[in-house]
Amino acid sequence: MNIFSLLKRAIISDDILVKEELTTQCLEYCIQNEISCDDDFDPILFSKPSYASKCHIVDPRDLPARKDFESKEGLATLVHAIAHIEFSAIDLALDAVYRYPQMSKTYKIDWLEVASDEIRHFKMLESLLTELGYAYGDFPVHCGLFDAAEHTAHNILDRMAIIPRYYEASGLDVSPQIIKKLDNKRKNPQVKKLIDALNIIYAEEIDHVFKGDKWFKYLCAQEGIEEGKEEDTYFDILERYDLLSKHRPHVNVEGRKEAGFSCVEIKKLGAKECT
């Protein structure tokens, strides 16, 4: 089986069931077999995100303001925004396997497992969207994660720093705040379903960020970066991608520690205390 061909098909497809079937095939094959790749394999740079055929892509500044979550439409805008992050994350996890074929079997299994989780997350949210009377693609989206993947395609160390250790880790900061904001509306069964989904997503995203942390540190060691200097490397990468100045109203100290961040990093990201 040529899993790289299957991965390419999965990344390009806008059909969640196709992505799910191909991801499952690749994961099962990787678990049971050693994966080899032709020396002349050259992964392509994707010209557009897979969801471009479903969604109207706009500049993040042009996204409509979120409405009050009391209405079905208002709640649907929030569910849609989170579902879009999950759909994007599926492709990023698959691309982490497709784009870096030199990495080990364990690495491949890790990111295929992440893709499987993201597929399940998306399907939970898609089901709730349907219940609210909407579908994925009914609201405009931005392609920030796709752009970040494109910008880091040339360097796997940058990819591990930027995607799991920056963007996914930022989700660990945001998700508990969204859950807290929704909590006083949990008598609404659809809000409760969203809270339940967000709690599942949050717990599993800690594992995703931890995997990113593990492979980031592994790659630092492979590049001869001294143990203990990974933090400097991480912040050097964030600075190169102009991400250090981004405002973080809340840093989830415990969630980030569980995902592998040190207190030095957490404080540098804006937390006042970390022990």
Q: Which helix (H) or strand (E) holds 235?
A: helix 230-240
Number of independent structural domains in the chain: 1
pLDDT, tens only, 26-78:
999 999 998 877 767 889 999 999 999 999 999 988 887 776 777 899 999 99
Q: Using alpha carbons only, how large is the chain's radius of gyration in Å? A: 19
Query: In the prediction, which pLDDT does 213 show?
Result: 98
pLDDT of residue 60: 86
Q: Considering the domain boundaries, does residue 274 fall inside one?
A: no
Nearest to 197 by CA among 126, 138, 132: 126
DSSP assignments along 32-52, one per residue: HS-----TT--PPPPSS-GGG
Share of the chain above pLDDT 90, in %: 85
Whether 65 maps to a domain, the answer reads yes
Q: What is the pLDDT of residue 63?
A: 84
Are the C-beta atoms of residues 177 and 250 closer than 8 Å to each other? Answer: yes
Q: How far is CA 48 from the centre of its chain?
A: 17
Cβ neighbour number for residue 26 with a 10 Å cutoff: 25
**Is 175 contained in some domain?**
yes
Contact 239, 205 (CB under 8 A): no
pLDDT, position 67 = 63
For residue 273, being part of any structural domain is answered with no
- Per the CB < 8 A criterion, the answer to whether 73 and 64 are in contact is no
For position 261, which CATH number holds? 1.20.1260
What is the per-residue pLDDT for 1?
A: 79
State the residue for tokens 């649907």.
76
- DSSP-derived 3-state class of residue 57: strand
Place of tokens 């030095």: 264
In a domain, 78, yes or no: yes
What would the pLDDT profile of 153-176 be if each residue is shown by its tens digit? 999 999 999 999 999 999 999 999
Structural domain contains residue 177: yes
Whether 147 is in a domain gets the answer yes
E-strand spans in the chain?
none
What does the alpha-carbon distance between residue 66 and residue 183 come to, in Å, rounded to a whole number? 17
**What is the span of the domain harbouring residue 94?**
3-35+61-268
Regions of the chain where pLDDT drops below 70: 39, 67, 247
Query: 56 lies in a domain?
Result: no
